[in-house]
Chains A and B, each alone.
Chain A
Amino acid sequence: NAGVTQTPKFRVLKTGQSMTLLCAQDMNHEYMYWYRQDPGMGLRLIHYSVGEGTTAKGEVPDGYNVSRLKKQNFLLGLESAAPSQTSVYFCASSYNSRVYTGELFFGEGSRLTVL
Protein backbone atom coordinates (compact mmCIF):
# COMPACT_ATOMS: atom_id res chain seq x y z
CA ASN A 1 0.00 0.00 0.00
CA ALA A 2 1.83 3.10 -1.25
CA GLY A 3 -0.15 5.75 0.69
CA VAL A 4 0.94 9.23 -0.45
CA THR A 5 3.65 9.42 -3.11
CA GLN A 6 5.44 12.59 -4.19
CA THR A 7 7.57 13.09 -7.31
CA PRO A 8 10.24 14.27 -7.78
CA LYS A 9 11.99 13.95 -4.42
CA PHE A 10 14.73 16.44 -5.29
CA ARG A 11 14.94 19.22 -7.84
CA VAL A 12 17.23 22.17 -8.52
CA LEU A 13 15.84 25.05 -10.54
CA LYS A 14 17.15 28.34 -11.80
CA THR A 15 15.24 31.53 -11.03
CA GLY A 16 12.40 31.98 -13.50
CA GLN A 17 12.08 28.31 -14.45
CA SER A 18 8.83 26.44 -14.02
CA MET A 19 8.09 23.02 -12.63
CA THR A 20 5.32 20.80 -11.32
CA LEU A 21 5.29 18.59 -8.24
CA LEU A 22 3.01 15.57 -8.40
CA CYS A 23 1.23 14.04 -5.43
CA ALA A 24 -0.64 10.76 -5.74
CA GLN A 25 -2.65 8.95 -3.07
CA ASP A 26 -4.24 5.53 -3.25
CA MET A 27 -6.51 5.77 -0.19
CA ASN A 28 -9.50 7.31 -1.98
CA HIS A 29 -9.23 10.42 0.19
CA GLU A 30 -11.29 13.44 -0.68
CA TYR A 31 -9.04 16.05 0.90
CA MET A 32 -5.50 16.76 -0.25
CA TYR A 33 -3.03 19.42 0.89
CA TRP A 34 0.28 21.00 -0.11
CA TYR A 35 2.53 22.33 2.67
CA ARG A 36 5.95 23.87 2.70
CA GLN A 37 8.33 23.45 5.62
CA ASP A 38 11.09 25.92 6.36
CA PRO A 39 13.46 26.09 9.34
CA GLY A 40 11.89 28.05 12.19
CA MET A 41 8.60 28.49 10.28
CA GLY A 42 6.98 25.12 10.78
CA LEU A 43 4.50 23.71 8.29
CA ARG A 44 2.59 26.26 6.25
CA LEU A 45 -0.38 25.42 4.06
CA ILE A 46 -0.03 26.50 0.43
CA HIS A 47 -3.20 25.18 -1.22
CA TYR A 48 -5.67 22.44 -0.56
CA SER A 49 -8.47 20.57 -2.27
CA VAL A 50 -11.69 19.17 -0.84
CA GLY A 51 -12.47 17.01 -3.85
CA GLU A 52 -11.88 16.38 -7.52
CA GLY A 53 -12.05 19.59 -9.51
CA THR A 54 -11.81 21.86 -6.45
CA THR A 55 -8.92 23.89 -5.04
CA ALA A 56 -8.58 26.57 -2.38
CA LYS A 57 -5.88 28.90 -1.08
CA GLY A 58 -4.07 28.26 2.15
CA GLU A 59 -1.81 30.47 4.22
CA VAL A 60 0.95 31.09 1.63
CA PRO A 61 -0.51 30.63 -1.90
CA ASP A 62 1.34 33.36 -3.79
CA GLY A 63 3.62 32.09 -6.57
CA TYR A 64 1.97 28.66 -6.68
CA ASN A 65 -0.87 27.11 -8.64
CA VAL A 66 -2.60 23.77 -8.15
CA SER A 67 -4.90 21.42 -9.99
CA ARG A 68 -6.99 18.39 -8.98
CA LEU A 69 -8.20 16.89 -12.24
CA LYS A 70 -8.32 13.38 -10.79
CA LYS A 71 -9.29 12.46 -7.24
CA GLN A 72 -6.05 10.60 -6.61
CA ASN A 73 -3.71 13.34 -7.89
CA PHE A 74 -2.92 16.85 -6.66
CA LEU A 75 -0.41 18.90 -8.65
CA LEU A 76 1.56 21.89 -7.37
CA GLY A 77 3.02 24.22 -9.99
CA LEU A 78 5.60 26.97 -9.84
CA GLU A 79 5.28 29.14 -12.95
CA SER A 80 8.36 31.31 -12.33
CA ALA A 81 10.50 29.97 -9.51
CA ALA A 82 12.12 32.38 -7.03
CA PRO A 83 14.85 31.71 -4.45
CA SER A 84 12.26 32.33 -1.70
CA GLN A 85 10.54 29.13 -2.87
CA THR A 86 13.52 27.03 -1.85
CA SER A 87 11.92 24.69 0.66
CA VAL A 88 10.77 21.18 1.41
CA TYR A 89 7.29 20.54 0.08
CA PHE A 90 4.95 18.00 1.61
CA CYS A 91 1.73 16.62 0.25
CA ALA A 92 -0.87 15.14 2.57
CA SER A 93 -4.31 13.62 2.33
CA SER A 94 -7.16 12.78 4.67
CA TYR A 95 -10.61 11.24 4.70
CA ASN A 96 -13.21 13.89 5.45
CA SER A 97 -16.96 14.11 5.44
CA ARG A 98 -19.37 16.82 6.52
CA VAL A 99 -19.20 15.59 10.11
CA TYR A 100 -15.81 13.95 10.37
CA THR A 101 -12.16 14.76 9.77
CA GLY A 102 -9.90 11.77 9.67
CA GLU A 103 -6.24 10.96 10.04
CA LEU A 104 -3.75 12.96 8.00
CA PHE A 105 -1.21 11.03 5.91
CA PHE A 106 1.95 12.61 4.51
CA GLY A 107 4.25 11.94 1.60
CA GLU A 108 8.02 11.75 2.01
CA GLY A 109 8.57 15.29 0.79
CA SER A 110 10.13 17.03 -2.21
CA ARG A 111 13.23 19.13 -1.64
CA LEU A 112 13.34 22.08 -4.04
CA THR A 113 16.30 24.44 -4.44
CA VAL A 114 15.98 27.58 -6.55
CA LEU A 115 19.28 29.19 -7.52
Chain B
Amino acid sequence: KQEVTQIPAALSVPEGENLVLNCSFTDSAIYNLQWFRQDPGKGLTSLLLIQSSQREQTSGRLNASLDKSSGRSTLYIAASQPGDSATYLCAVPPLGGNQFYFGTGTSLTVIP
Protein backbone atom coordinates (compact mmCIF):
# COMPACT_ATOMS: atom_id res chain seq x y z
CA LYS B 1 0.00 0.00 0.00
CA GLN B 2 1.20 3.48 -0.88
CA GLU B 3 2.34 5.51 2.14
CA VAL B 4 2.43 9.30 1.82
CA THR B 5 4.27 11.41 4.40
CA GLN B 6 4.41 15.15 4.84
CA ILE B 7 7.01 16.72 7.10
CA PRO B 8 6.83 19.00 8.98
CA ALA B 9 3.28 18.74 10.28
CA ALA B 10 3.31 22.46 11.07
CA LEU B 11 5.39 25.39 9.92
CA SER B 12 5.42 29.05 10.96
CA VAL B 13 7.32 31.66 8.94
CA PRO B 14 7.49 35.47 8.77
CA GLU B 15 5.86 37.20 5.83
CA GLY B 16 8.05 37.48 2.76
CA GLU B 17 10.06 34.35 3.39
CA ASN B 18 10.45 31.67 0.72
CA LEU B 19 9.55 28.20 1.94
CA VAL B 20 9.47 24.56 0.90
CA LEU B 21 6.93 21.93 1.84
CA ASN B 22 7.81 18.26 1.46
CA CYS B 23 5.86 15.20 0.36
CA SER B 24 7.31 11.67 0.32
CA PHE B 25 5.73 8.52 -1.09
CA THR B 26 6.85 4.91 -0.93
CA ASP B 27 5.73 3.55 -4.33
CA SER B 28 7.11 5.37 -7.38
CA ALA B 29 4.58 3.77 -9.74
CA ILE B 30 2.20 6.74 -9.86
CA TYR B 31 0.14 8.51 -12.52
CA ASN B 32 0.74 11.97 -11.11
CA LEU B 33 1.02 13.94 -7.89
CA GLN B 34 -1.35 16.66 -6.84
CA TRP B 35 -0.94 19.46 -4.29
CA PHE B 36 -3.98 20.86 -2.50
CA ARG B 37 -4.69 23.72 -0.17
CA GLN B 38 -7.32 23.53 2.59
CA ASP B 39 -8.50 26.55 4.54
CA PRO B 40 -10.14 25.96 7.95
CA GLY B 41 -13.69 24.67 7.57
CA LYS B 42 -13.38 24.46 3.80
CA GLY B 43 -12.85 21.85 1.13
CA LEU B 44 -9.62 21.03 -0.67
CA THR B 45 -8.60 23.28 -3.55
CA SER B 46 -6.29 21.90 -6.21
CA LEU B 47 -3.09 23.93 -6.57
CA LEU B 48 -0.87 22.00 -8.94
CA LEU B 49 -0.93 18.67 -10.75
CA ILE B 50 2.36 17.15 -11.91
CA GLN B 51 2.17 14.28 -14.36
CA SER B 52 4.55 11.37 -13.77
CA SER B 53 6.51 12.34 -16.88
CA GLN B 54 7.05 15.92 -15.68
CA ARG B 55 9.69 17.29 -13.34
CA GLU B 56 7.91 20.44 -12.21
CA GLN B 57 4.89 22.69 -12.55
CA THR B 58 4.51 26.38 -11.80
CA SER B 59 1.55 28.58 -10.98
CA GLY B 60 2.26 32.14 -9.90
CA ARG B 61 4.35 32.07 -6.72
CA LEU B 62 4.01 28.28 -6.46
CA ASN B 63 6.39 25.75 -7.93
CA ALA B 64 6.04 22.01 -7.44
CA SER B 65 8.72 19.49 -8.32
CA LEU B 66 8.55 15.72 -8.65
CA ASP B 67 11.34 13.17 -8.33
CA LYS B 68 9.71 9.79 -8.82
CA SER B 69 12.89 7.77 -8.39
CA SER B 70 13.42 9.11 -4.88
CA GLY B 71 9.70 9.24 -4.03
CA ARG B 72 9.67 12.94 -3.30
CA SER B 73 7.84 16.10 -4.24
CA THR B 74 8.35 19.62 -2.98
CA LEU B 75 6.06 22.65 -3.06
CA TYR B 76 7.99 25.90 -3.15
CA ILE B 77 6.17 29.07 -2.14
CA ALA B 78 7.93 32.31 -2.99
CA ALA B 79 7.54 35.55 -1.03
CA SER B 80 5.00 34.10 1.40
CA GLN B 81 1.95 36.16 2.43
CA PRO B 82 -0.47 35.87 5.38
CA GLY B 83 -3.10 34.74 2.87
CA ASP B 84 -0.99 31.65 2.21
CA SER B 85 -1.79 30.41 5.72
CA ALA B 86 -3.60 27.08 5.29
CA THR B 87 -3.01 23.34 5.36
CA TYR B 88 -1.26 21.93 2.31
CA LEU B 89 -1.79 18.30 1.31
CA CYS B 90 -0.32 16.12 -1.40
CA ALA B 91 -2.00 13.11 -3.02
CA VAL B 92 -0.90 10.36 -5.39
CA PRO B 93 -2.94 7.89 -7.46
CA PRO B 94 -0.96 4.66 -7.98
CA LEU B 95 -0.73 2.99 -11.37
CA GLY B 96 -3.44 0.39 -11.69
CA GLY B 97 -5.26 1.72 -8.64
CA ASN B 98 -8.64 3.35 -8.29
CA GLN B 99 -8.00 5.70 -5.42
CA PHE B 100 -5.79 8.53 -4.24
CA TYR B 101 -3.48 8.32 -1.25
CA PHE B 102 -3.15 11.47 0.84
CA GLY B 103 -0.55 12.82 3.19
CA THR B 104 -1.75 14.22 6.52
CA GLY B 105 -0.76 17.72 5.49
CA THR B 106 1.47 20.58 6.60
CA SER B 107 -0.22 23.42 8.47
CA LEU B 108 1.39 26.68 7.36
CA THR B 109 1.14 29.95 9.26
CA VAL B 110 2.60 33.10 7.71
CA ILE B 111 3.11 35.79 10.35
CA PRO B 112 2.56 39.41 9.22
- A residues with a Cβ closer than 8 A to B are 31, 33, 40, 42-43, 45, 48, 50, 56, 58, 90, 92, 94, 96, 100-101, 103-109
Which of A33, A56, A100, A106 is within 8 Å of B45, CB to CB? Answer: A106
Contact between chains at A104 and B46 (CB < 8 Å): yes
Quick one: which of B30-49 are within 8 Å of A by CB?
31-32, 34, 36, 41-46, 49
Which of A58, A101, A108 is within 8 Å of B93, CB to CB? Answer: A101
A57 to chain B, nearest CB (A): 11
Q: Is the interface of A mostly helix, strand, loop or mixed?
A: strand
For chain B, the count of residues having a C-beta within 8 Å of the partner chain is: 21
How does the 8 Å CB contact mask read for B86-106 relative to A, with 1 for contact and 0 for none? Answer: 000101010000111011110
B99 to chain A, nearest CB (A): 6
Beyond known contacts A33-B99, A42-B105, A103-B46: 12 more, CB 8 A cutoff: A40-B104, A42-B103, A42-B104, A43-B89, A43-B102, A103-B34, A103-B49, A104-B46, A104-B100, A106-B43, A106-B44, A109-B42
The answer for the CA separation of A48 and B100 in the assembled complex, in Å, is 11
Which of B31, B41, B46, B99 is within 8 Å of A105, CB to CB? Answer: B46
- B residues with a Cβ closer than 8 A to A are 31-32, 34, 36, 41-46, 49, 89, 91, 93, 98-100, 102-105
Which of B34, B41, B44, B104 is within 8 Å of A90, CB to CB? Answer: B44
The answer for the CA separation of A104 and B36 in the assembled complex, in Å, is 10
| B45 closest partner in A (C-beta) | A106
Contact between chains at A58 and B99 (CB < 8 Å): yes
Interface centre among B45, B102, B104 (most CB of A within 10 A): B102
Question: Contacts A101-B93, A103-B34, A104-B91 hold; do A42 and B102 have CB atoms under 8 A apart?
Answer: yes
The 5 A-B residue pairs with the shortest CB-CB distance in the complex, in nearest-first order: A101-B31, A42-B104, A101-B93, A106-B44, A106-B43
